[in-house]
Structures are given as C-alpha cells and as structure tokens.
Homo-oligomer: A and B are copies of this chain.
Amino acid sequence: MPNTQIQVGILGATGFTGCELVGLLLRHPRAEIAWLSSESQPGTAYGKVYPQYLGRLPPQVEKMRSFEDVKATVPDVVFSCLPHGASAECAAPFLMNGKTIVIDLSADFRLKDPKAYAEAYAHTHPMPERLKESRYGLCEVHGGEIKGARLIANPGCYPTSAILPLYPLIRDGVVSPDGIIIDAKSGVSGAGKKPTETTHYVMANESVTAYGVGDKHRHRWEIIEQLSLAAGRKLDLLFTAHLIPMERGILSTIYCDLADGKTAALAEACLRKQYEGSDFVRIREDFPRTGDVKHSNFCHMKVYQPAGGRKLIIVSVIDNMVKGASGQALQNMNIALGLPETLGLA
C-alpha cells in the first residue's frame, strides 16, 4: 500500500452495519471515508440519521450521495451494506474498474453454489459469473485466500459464530460431520433497522422466541457449504435461531459427536492449535458470555464433553455487529491490503 490514506466508500450506509462501520473507520489510522451512499435518503446529512457522527465527518462526506452519483468513483475499497440482490448489482461497477476492492456484507457472494443461493434467498443469483473469484472472508479460517482478493464476501453473523469452532474440528476429523445441531441466540440488531412488529420494543423486550427453526434460516445454507468444505463431502445439519432481548451479541450452543477415538481434550487442542497467535479468537476454560465480546471483534469459545457419551458441546460468542459484520469486514480490508489485522479493531 502507498503511504497515503486508503479511500473508502460505503454503499447503503444508513443501515446498522453501515453505522457500525463508520464508527470503526473513524478509529482506523490508515483509512479515510471518501463517501457514504444511501438510496433512501441521498442528500441527507449522515449526522441527521446517526447523531453520534455530528461534526465528525467532512461536509462533502457527511452529505450522503446516491449510487448513481458514486458509481464512477474509484475508491481503494468499497464496503457494500446493501441488502442481498441489490448488493451484487451495485458492486458491479467497482468490480469492473479494475482497482477497487469490494467487501460485500450482504449474502450475495457467500455461497459458491448458485442453486443453494436461489433456495435460501428465493431468487436467482444476480451475478453467478463472479462467484468463482469471490473469497469467503472468514478471516481466521480463510485468511490466506483473502490477501490480494478483489471481491470478498463477508460472512453472516450466525455462520461466523458457528464455523469458527466447527471448521477446524471437522476438517481435522475430531468431530463427526453428521448430526450437528446449532442452537443460536441473537440480539435484536441482527433483525435490521426497519421498524416491524418483531422489533417493536414492547414485543422484543422481556421475551424470547425461536425463528428460522431447524431447516428454515438462510444462514443454514452458508454454514452447510462451509462445513461441507471442511468435511470434504456434503453434510447436513439443524440450525435454530432465537431472538433475545438485547441489542447485540450472538451465542451459539453447538451439539455434535466426537469422532471415534477422539476426546474433548483433543478437540480443545485442535482449536488451540488453529487459533494460537490469533488476534481475535480465544479458547476459554469457562463458559463465555456475549457480554465478554460486546463491541469487540473477538470470538470466545469453550468445548465441553458431558459424562457418559460421545456428545461434545461447544459454546461460542461474538458481537453480531462487529465480528459478525462490520468488524470482520474491516479485518478483511486489513488482510486484503496487507495491513496488520488488528488496525482499527484493537
């Protein structure tokens, strides 16, 4: 990288992930926001939408621009915080300019298999020809493929919490690829900014509910594809999401089977080896709280084997807005550009 500041554009900056990203970028010593785009409120000052940024952005950045207005610019990096479908479409001009690195926080480039995408997202893939070059940006697992990439698919929040522990365990044959159950609990920010009955305070507060039960949640396809990659063969699993009354955080409780001859100690050793020296992953001796990783890019996990069986229980926690979205996106930028991974994230 040259020594000048990295120019960054954000597509769809008014959503929660855009807001989180702006905050992280303001702390990043090498990045500079070039523009923020919004289709719903172009021309509006960002500080009107998120008063925490009042007077913290230069005037020409603070005033949000439309996609039409920014699509011919050539920033070093573009983060897309747009919804799936729209995201691939708006990423196109930046992918084609031959210079900009695109980091897509939507689901558009996460699944290599366009048929799985069509099944999960209920529409055909908008740009299947780019799937080959896209990199799945789970930094601690696929970091080697991210350096120098031009198109990075930032992982989903639930998948990040589940794949980080399961990928190495399955890849190394410590855990059986069959019969995995992931029971995940998430804060409400994961439901997005749009006011709905579900996100109404009186409905979400003092209540817990299950959704996307068993085989219905979109993130399940993403977890299956990644863990099948780890297993070297197609696997299947159950995933259930729960909405709990807090703003941010995901805790995944994972039930799986130790492979023949394997023990919890071997499982822990496998994870310690994978994440030795990792900036952001910690193997815990006690069970982690999501509070331990709130507003941070960390993932904490613990493995435990109950007496009298081959079941292994893994508990893994992240902040869905940071490691599960904007923090990992920034980590991907750092890796892609060859910067220290922790820049702006420590």
Contacts and interface: CB of A to CB of B under 8 A. Distances in A.
Contacts of A52: 292-294, 296, 298
A289 interface: yes
A214 B291 contact: no
A284 interface: yes
Nearest to A243: B289
A313 interface: yes
Nearest to A255: B181
Contacts of A324: none
Interface string A295-319: 1101010001111110101010000
A68 interface: no
Contacts of A214: 304-306, 311, 313
Contacts of A240: 253, 313
A308 B235 CA distance: 12
A294 B195 contact: no
B188 A195 contact: no
Interface in A158-189: 181, 183, 185, 187-189
B309 A236 contact: yes
Interface stretch (A102-110, A145-153, A244-252): A244-252
A70 B293 CA distance: 30
A202 interface: yes
A40 interface: no
Interface in A183-233: 183, 185, 187-189, 193, 195-197, 199-211, 213-216
Given A213-B287, A240-B253, A346 B205 contact: no
A65 interface: no
A117 B195 CA distance: 31
A313 B34 CA distance: 38
Contact of A208 (B251, B282, B306): B251
A283 to B, nearest CB: 10
Given A51-B288, A202-B193, A206-B291, A213 B249 contact: no
A185 B206 contact: no
Given A214-B311, A244-B244, A284-B54, A204 B201 contact: yes
A290 B197 CA distance: 16
A26 interface: yes
A120 interface: no
A202 B248 CA distance: 9
A206 B206 contact: yes
Q: Which of A202, A286, A296 has the most CB of B within 10 A?
A: A202
Which 7 pairs, one residue from A and one from B, show the smallest C-beta to C-beta distance?
A207-B291, A214-B306, A215-B306, A195-B195, A209-B289, A201-B204, A188-B201
10 contacts: A187-B206, A200-B200, A205-B245, A205-B246, A207-B291, A209-B287, A211-B287, A215-B308, A216-B306, A236-B308
